[in-house]
Amino acid sequence: MKISPVILAAGQGTRMRSKHPKVLHPLLGKAMIWYSLEAAYQATQVPATIVIGHGAEAVKQVSGTETQYVVQECQLGTGHALQQAAPLLKGKTDLVLVIPGDLPLLTGETLRKMVATQLHHAGPITMLTVISGDPRGFGRVVRDGKGSVLAVVEEAQATSEQLIIRELNVGAYCFTADWLWPALSQISLSRKGEYYLTDLVGIASACSLSVQPLELEDASESIGVNTRVHLAEAEAALQQRINRQWMLAGVTLHSPETVTIEPEVTIGADTVIWPNTHLRAGTQIGEDCEIGPNTLIEDTRIGNRCKVFASVLEHAVVEDDVDIGPFGHLRKGAHLAQGVHMGNFGEIKSSYLGPGTKMGHFSYIGDATIGSDVNIGGYDHL
């Protein structure tokens, strides 16, 4: 069974008020579309096809070389966007998994459930829905008296009765490919001059074909990003998810709402993270460490039983049993061997400090190699 994920990322995102494509705005250090690419690959083990348009070259640079691209020259809606992928995928896949590039909180697990649901479904569509009292502009899922899905009505076209419906269309679908490609040509032009992918639900229903809804268990996955307010909401929900995962893995976070941990960070068990600490991508922290408060660490490897207090570490290596700070600064190329002590207001750049070396306060070391058990006094510059 061949499954092809397609990410719709051609829109400009005018409500972001930005010269950059919407899907390139960062969430915890990663472009928004990175999360969609990761989730799609986790679900299918197949690199996604991305429909690009506004800022196409910039999106290509972020998305990587394994990704296929198709260009939507004129932004005529989501249905038209998916049509652009037909020449690449028609006749080459069994299922098409479609997700918007502005839903960065969708997980690989949820997308796997969508694929599994469609594999066991006789109809041509599985669609993701969410029950919420905050519609956020989503279309309403209309059902008949027996509970079968009849249509998705966009908010702007919904009647007053339809607007009170709490089941919302998230905008992610899994289609049977052989049905999808001819059905796309049946979508009518809307009053806005666009072809809506949501019309496929009504097209299937009109032919007495089943549409299978899959309700989200975690409503936060449906947070879409159309404004910078939404971007902040998505980042807060994503950070809460990441921090929870680390706490369940044996890491203590004091005031977790103040701790920022980006994807691709690793932390060992029984490490304690104090408030206002920011761990950026590429950082690896061992077991039984104390990090923070008021600390920023970026792309740095830290061993076991280390203490880093109110300091900044960038592109550095810290071996076991090292203590740093307060107000220490490790710059690119700094390497502290086992048992090094670095006092307050110290700075090290492109230098190696041997095992057991002690560096006093207000000292700077740059482009140097220091041996074992050396005592560097305060106010020294090497």
Question: Does residue 38 form part of some domain?
Answer: yes
Same domain, 111 and 255: no
Question: Does residue 122 form part of some domain?
Answer: yes
In eight-state DSSP terms, residue 330 is: E
Same domain, 163 and 264: no
CATH of the domain at 128: 3.90.550.10
d(CA 217, CA 107): 11
Tally of structural domains, the chain? 2
Is 361 assigned a catalytic role? yes
Residues 180, 173: contact at Cβ < 8 Å?
no
Same domain, 354 and 259: yes
Residues 263, 242: contact at Cβ < 8 Å?
yes
Going by C-alpha positions, the residue among 263, 228, 169 that lies closest to residue 22 is 228
Question: Does residue 23 form part of some domain?
Answer: yes
Question: Does residue 232 form part of some domain?
Answer: no
Active-site residue, from 230, 335, 361, 381: 361
Q: What is the mean pLDDT of the chain?
A: 95
Same domain, 114 and 173: yes
d(CA 77, CA 380): 64
d(CA 218, CA 240): 13
Question: Does residue 158 form part of some domain?
Answer: yes
Please return the burial class of 170, using the count of CB atoms within 10 Å of its CB with bins 0-12, 13-18 and 19+: buried
Same domain, 280 and 186: no
Residues 279, 260: contact at Cβ < 8 Å?
yes
Same domain, 332 and 201: no
Question: Does residue 83 form part of some domain?
Answer: yes
Same domain, 137 and 264: no
Question: Does residue 166 form part of some domain?
Answer: yes
Last residue of a domain, one of 179, 203, 222: 222
Going by C-alpha positions, the residue among 67, 27, 22, 21 that lies closest to residue 238 is 27
In the prediction, which pLDDT does 351 show? 98
Buried b (16+ CB within 10 A) or exposed e, 36-53: bbbbbbebbeebbbbbbb
Residues 60-101 have pLDDT tens digits of 988 876 789 999 998 899 999 999 999 999 999 999 999 999
Last residue of a domain, one of 206, 222, 238: 222
Question: Does residue 238 form part of some domain?
Answer: no
Residues 221-271 have pLDDT tens digits of 999 999 999 999 999 999 999 999 999 999 999 999 999 999 999 999 999
Same domain, 69 and 207: yes
Same domain, 284 and 195: no
- Containing structural domain, residue 341: 249-376
Residues 268-300 have pLDDT tens digits of 999 999 999 999 999 999 999 999 999 999 999
Residues 91, 21: contact at Cβ < 8 Å?
no
Residues 309-318 have pLDDT tens digits of 999 999 999 9
Same domain, 217 and 279: no
> Where residue 380 falls among pLDDT bands split at 50, 70, 90?
low
d(CA 26, CA 30): 5
Same domain, 47 and 156: yes
CATH of the domain at 282: 2.160.10.10
Same domain, 259 and 218: no
Strand-pair category, 252-253 with 272-273: parallel
d(CA 19, CA 168): 30
